[in-house]
Amino acid sequence: MAPTVLAVLIGILINNSRLSDLRAHVDSRFGDVNARFNDINTRFDEVNRRFDDMDRKMDHRFEDMKSTWRSELHRVEEVLDARLKHLEER
């Protein structure tokens, strides 16, 4: 009976060792996958930052164009008022 118990114990220890090796391998592979996802998240954060920068620049450009149009329209309004006044004086 002792050799049978000894053979079973050795089998259990070998299987336990193999399971530990398998777990270590799986953990390392999941670590690689997590690292890749972290890299992808970093890239998405960079893309989001670039879109935010572009959005701010576009807002600034539209504000500049709006002020330019307002000043031009004000100048046109003054010219039209002067012409209308000139016509009314005739």
pLDDT digits (tens, 9 = 90+) for 24-77: 999 999 999 999 999 999 999 999 999 999 999 999 999 999 999 999 999 899
pLDDT of residue 88: 85
Q: Does the pLDDT of residue 90 top 70, yes or no?
A: yes
Q: Does the pLDDT of residue 1 top 70, yes or no?
A: no
**Total H helices, total E strands in the chain:** 1, 0
pLDDT in tens, 31-43: 999 999 999 999 9
| 39 vs 32: CA distance, rounded Å | 11
